[in-house]
Homo-oligomer: A and B are copies of this chain.
Amino acid sequence: MKLHEYQAKALFREYGIPTPKGVLVDALDKLEQAARSLGGDEWIVKAQVHASERSQVGGVRWAHGMDELRKAGEALLGQRLHTGYGGPGGQRVDRLLLEAPVQLEQEIYFVMQVDRSLERVVCRVSQSGGSTGAERAGGEIEIVQVEADAVLGFMPFHYRQLSLELDLSRQARRRLAELMQNAYRLFRDKDLVMLRINPLALTGAGELVALDAKLTVDDNALDRQPDLRALHDAEQVDAIERAAEEHGLHYVRLDGDIGCMVNGAGLAMATMDLLKLHGGEPANFLDVGGHVYGPEQVAKALRLILSDGQVKAVLVNIFGGIVRCDLIAQGMIEAAGGQGLRVPVVVRMQGTEAYAGLQALAASDLGFITTHKLEDAARLAVEAARAGVAA
């Protein structure tokens, strides 16, 4: 789960990580007062959306004086940013973070994350931070990494190593050590999987200030992080994905026109792959759950897929193990019965009671196209989608 910048910075302050002075604004008429409370005549206006690339689509603006400030506010607040996230409509900007500028000498890239291969928390820094820096440059700019010890965490020699790589002054070294300790404490306390500060400003006085803040919380840990769960901004997520989430389904919206419903994440990806192999384009990834689910879950999932206007055909791929295919078939008939089949639905079933399931679907006369074979199912779905487009 992602946090907004303003939420992340509140946590930073709680954990002793310096941030610029800032005020959160949720209405245009509060903008001027906020600016005055910050002082000065120059401010940064930052749209609070989850996408990392907001600055590339005008989500971060500098304003000199009140006129520019008002214009920046009007251009952002209540508008939608097309960041590539949040579905075709983009992400609506409900809040602005207004900040005072920080005089800086260098922009550092700083990230703490879980390295699954090393099985350690790692900290990576680069001298080249900011939006043109390490993050976007791929492998070209040198990023230095240290790994937290499994027992002892990050240690002074880690701080020293990174300070040397960043060529920091004595004062800044102390600040980096504090930052790493505080960030690691936050990382562990709040079950983060990623904590990114880019840029981390190094000021002339040797202070380090987090100009941006991106935190991702472990979804599996939200039960024990109720305070963080409460920070979830569902508005940032695509509407269908949000509905799926509420039903406990893993759904990812894609660009194609063939809806997919599969049990098991691996098989769901494999089904998408197979569609591609046959020249089709999946409209979504959807795992109804590998193991424990009932007909209702299936019915909900199918309705969800059909609710996407882009979908021209549906491919259902079920490997019956614990749950019997005939029960799954029932759920699908229910879902279809309610509103009829808007588009062709190809169903492949295998495993427990697959024959009974397919037979029930065929007998339902609702137009399900049935098969035992994965290969055939993919081909039929692609053909159905093409026919649909043609029609």
Q: How many angstroms between the C-alpha atoms of A153 and B150 in the bound complex? A: 13
CB A38 to nearest CB in B, in angstroms, measures: 39
Q: How many angstroms between the C-alpha atoms of A151 and B150 in the bound complex? A: 8
CB contacts (< 8 Å) of A151 on chain B: these are 150-151
CB contacts (< 8 Å) of A150 on chain B: these are 151
**Binary CB contact string for chain A from 142 to 156 against chain B (1 if under 8 A, 0 otherwise):** 000000001100000
Residue of B nearest to A151 (CB): B151
Q: How many angstroms between the C-alpha atoms of A150 and B151 in the bound complex? A: 8
Q: How many angstroms between the C-alpha atoms of A151 and B151 in the bound complex? A: 6
- Interface positions, chain A 115-163, Cβ under 8 Å from B, are 150-151
CB A188 to nearest CB in B, in angstroms, measures: 13
- Interface positions, chain A 33-68, Cβ under 8 Å from B, are none
Residue of B nearest to A150 (CB): B151
Q: How many angstroms between the C-alpha atoms of A151 and B152 in the bound complex? A: 9
CB A214 to nearest CB in B, in angstroms, measures: 29
Q: How many angstroms between the C-alpha atoms of A145 and B150 in the bound complex? A: 26
Q: How many angstroms between the C-alpha atoms of A221 and B150 in the bound complex? A: 23
Q: How many angstroms between the C-alpha atoms of A258 and B150 in the bound complex? A: 52
Query: What are 2 A-B contacts with C-beta separation under 8 Å?
Result: A150-B151, A151-B151
Closest 2 pairs (CB-CB, A-B): A151-B151, A150-B151
